[in-house]
Every structure is written in C-alpha cells, then in structure tokens.
C-alpha cells in the first residue's frame, strides 16, 4: 500500500459545473479561456468542459457567450449606450463581431432589438 496524502475524491460534476457557472457570471467581462478557467478553478480544462456539458448541456465557452449576449440584451433595453460600448462592456472587443453573434443568437440586430423592446 502506498503511503502519502490520501487522494481526495473528485467533486461531483454538478458542483464543479455550478462553480464554473458562478465564475463565468462573475468574470464575463474579462477575457476568459478554458485555460484561464482551469487555472482559476484548479481542474483540468477537459474535466471542466465535461462537467458543464453534463449539467448545462454546453461548454463553458458556449455558456459564457450566451451569458454575454443576455447581458447585452439588458443593457440595450436599460441604457442608451452605443452598441460598440455595450459590446465592449459585455466582453466583446469587436463590435461587428458582437452584432453578428447577437443577430445569430437573438434573430435580430442589436439596434432593432433596442427599438423593439425599449420602453
């Protein structure tokens, strides 16, 4: 029998997925990668991806992308900021790419969304 530190059991996938979700929600404005996520959570990137897929049915980067777009929707409705400023605020560094992603995910452009849903 080997001596040394006893191995701790890996966390349940749900708890790691929930920690990943919390981290992504807290750091969505930053440049988050699978590697930076792994460093922050102290797990291998592949294990984090598997746990997120098991619980949320998407990868951490897909979750982050969707969360950023949901935050952008709120800002489009609640502020009069230019689209480029909103894009930057939610973690997109290139406004045309943001607009393209927004249209693909939501179905309409950011400006049309603002006109349609602003009070």
pLDDT tens for each residue of 11-66 = 555 699 999 999 999 999 999 999 999 999 999 999 999 999 999 999 999 999 99
| The pLDDT of residue 84 is above 80 | yes
| The pLDDT of residue 5 is above 60 | no
Stretch 95-117: mean pLDDT: 97
Q: Which residues of 49-82 are buried (b: 16+ CB within 10 A; e: fewer)?
A: bebbbebbeebbeebbbebbbebbbebbeeeeee
Domains (ranges, CATH) in the chain? 13-60 (no CATH), 63-117 (1.10.10.60)
Stretch 100-114: mean pLDDT: 97
pLDDT at res. 6? 52
| The pLDDT of residue 105 is above 80 | yes
């Amino acid at each position: 029998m080997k001596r040394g530190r006893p191995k701790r059991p890996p966390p349940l996938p749900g708890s790691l997925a929930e920690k990943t979700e919390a981290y992504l929600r807290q750091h969505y404005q930053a440049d988050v990668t699978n590697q930076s996520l792994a460093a922050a959570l102290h797990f291998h990137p592949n294990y984090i991806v598997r746990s997120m897929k098991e619980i949320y049915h998407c990868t951490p980067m897909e979750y982050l992308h969707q969360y950023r777009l949901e935050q952008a929707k709120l800002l489009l409705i609640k502020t009069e900021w230019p689209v480029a400023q909103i894009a930057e605020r939610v973690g997109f560094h290139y406004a045309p790419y943001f607009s393209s992603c927004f249209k693909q995910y939501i179905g309409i452009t950011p400006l049309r969304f603002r006109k349609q849903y602003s009070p």
